[in-house]
Structure 1
Amino acid sequence: MRVLFATIGATMLCAGAAQAQDGATTPGGKEALTLLVDGVKFQTVAGNGQVPAYAAYLKAKLLSAGFAPAEVQFVALGETGYLTARTPGRDRKAKPVVVLAHMDVVAADPKDWTRDPFTPVVENGYVFGRGSLDNKAGLSMAVATLMQLRRAKWVPQRDVVLVLTGDEETTMQTTKAAAAAFKDAALVLNADAGGGQLGDDGKPVVYALQAAEKVYGDWHLSVTDPGGHSSRPGPDNAIVHLATAVTRIAAYRFPPQQNEITKASLAGTATMTPGPLGAAMRAFSANPADTAAADILSADKRYIGQVRTTCVPTMFNGGHAPNALPQRAVANINCRIFPGTPRAAVEAKLVALAADPKVTVRFNDNGTIEAGASPLDPKVLGAVKAAVAKRAPGLLVVPAQEAGATDSMHFRAYGIPSFGVGGVFMKPSDSFAHGLNERVPVATFDPGVAWWESLLRTLG
Structure 2
Amino acid sequence: MHIRHLLAAAAALALAAPSFAQDAPHQKQAREIYAKVIGFRTAEGQGKVPEMARYLADVLKAGGVAEADIAMLPSGETTAMLVRVPGSDANARPILFSAHMDIVDARPEDWSRDPFTLVEEDGRFWGRGTHDNKAGVTAMVSTILRLKADKARPKRTLVFAFVGDEETGMVTTGLVAGHDWVKTSEFAINTDAGGGGLSPEGKPLIYLVQGAEKTYATFELTATNPGGHSSRPRKDNAIYDLARAITRVEGYAFPVMSNALTRAYIGAVGGALPGAAGQAMKAFAADPTNAQAIAAISTDPSFNGTIRTTCVATMLEAGHAENALPQKAKATVNCRIFPGVPVADVKAKLVEVVADPKIEIEAIDDPQASPVSEMRPDVMAAITRSIHKRQPGVPISPYLESGGTDGKVYRTAGIPTFATSGLFIRENEMFAHGLNERLPVESFYDGLEHIHDLALDLGGVR
Q: TM-score range by the shorter chain?
A: over 0.9
Aligned to 2:14: none
After superposition, the C-alpha distances for 1:129-175 in whole angstroms (9 at most, x for unaligned) are: 21111100111012112211211011111100101110000000000
Distance (Å, rounded) in 2 between the aligned partners of 1:226 and 1:43: 45
Deviation at 1:395, TM superposition (A): 0.7
Deviation at 1:399, TM superposition (A): 1.0
Quick one: which of 59, 68, 71 aligns to 2:69? 71
Aligned to 1:378: 377
Distance (Å, rounded) in 2 between the aligned partners of 1:120 and 1:299: 38
Deviation at 1:351, TM superposition (A): 0.8
Aligned to 2:45: 47
Deviation at 1:340, TM superposition (A): 0.8
Q: Kindly tell me: are residues 247 and 320 of structure 1, through their superposed partners in 2, closer, same or farther at Cα, counting changes over 3 Å?
A: same
Stretches of structure 1 lacking an aligned partner (at least 5 in a row): 13-18
Distance (Å, rounded) in 2 between the aligned partners of 1:125 and 1:55: 29
Aligned to 1:438: 437
Deviation at 1:9, TM superposition (A): 5.6
The reply on whether 1:419 has 2:418 as its aligned counterpart is yes
Aligned to 1:168: 166
Distance (Å, rounded) in 1 between the aligned partners of 2:109 and 2:20: 30
Moved more, 164-173 or 315-324: 315-324
Distance (Å, rounded) in 2 between the aligned partners of 1:415 and 1:429: 35
Native 8 Å contact 1:187 1:416 kept in 2: yes
After superposition, the C-alpha distances for 1:174-199 in whole angstroms (9 at most, x for unaligned) are: 00111111221001000101012222
Aligned to 1:15: none
SS in structure 2 opposite 1:360? strand
Stretches of structure 2 lacking an aligned partner (at least 5 in a row): 12-16
Aligned to 1:35: 33
After superposition, the C-alpha distances for 1:300-343 in whole angstroms (9 at most, x for unaligned) are: 11101110000001111222233322111110001011111110
After superposition, the C-alpha distances for 1:377-412 in whole angstroms (9 at most, x for unaligned) are: 111111111111101111111211111000011110
Native 8 Å contact 1:32 1:445 kept in 2: no
Aligned to 1:313: 313
Native 8 Å contact 1:20 1:203 kept in 2: no
The reply on whether 1:449 has 2:414 as its aligned counterpart is no
One-letter code aligned to 1:200: P
Q: Report the TM-score, using the length of structure 2 for normalisation.
A: 0.94
Native 8 Å contact 1:11 1:272 kept in 2: no
Deviation at 1:422, TM superposition (A): 0.5
Aligned to 2:128: 130
Aligned length: 452
Distance (Å, rounded) in 1 between the aligned partners of 2:349 and 2:367: 20
One-letter code aligned to 1:103: M
Q: Kindly tell me: are residues 263 and 335 of structure 1, through their superposed partners in 2, closer, same or farther at Cα, counting changes over 3 Å?
A: same
Distance (Å, rounded) in 1 between the aligned partners of 2:123 and 2:97: 27
Moved more, 164-173 or 438-447: 438-447
Deviation at 1:86, TM superposition (A): 0.8
List structure 1 runs of 4+ shifted beyond 4 angstroms.
Answer: none
Distance (Å, rounded) in 2 between the aligned partners of 1:446 and 1:137: 9
| Equivalent runs, 1:272-421 vs 2, <5 Å | 272-365=272-365, 369-421=368-420
Native 8 Å contact 2:6 2:427 kept in 1: no
Aligned to 2:115: 117
After superposition, the C-alpha distances for 1:36-62 in whole angstroms (9 at most, x for unaligned) are: 110011111112221111001111111
SS in structure 2 opposite 1:7? coil
Distance (Å, rounded) in 2 between the aligned partners of 1:341 and 1:210: 19
Deviation at 1:447, TM superposition (A): 2.3
Give the alignment's Cα RMSD to 1 decimal: 1.6
SS in structure 2 opposite 1:335? strand
Distance (Å, rounded) in 1 between the aligned partners of 2:192 and 2:320: 42
Native 8 Å contact 1:239 1:318 kept in 2: yes
Aligned to 1:16: none
SS in structure 1 opposite 2:302? coil
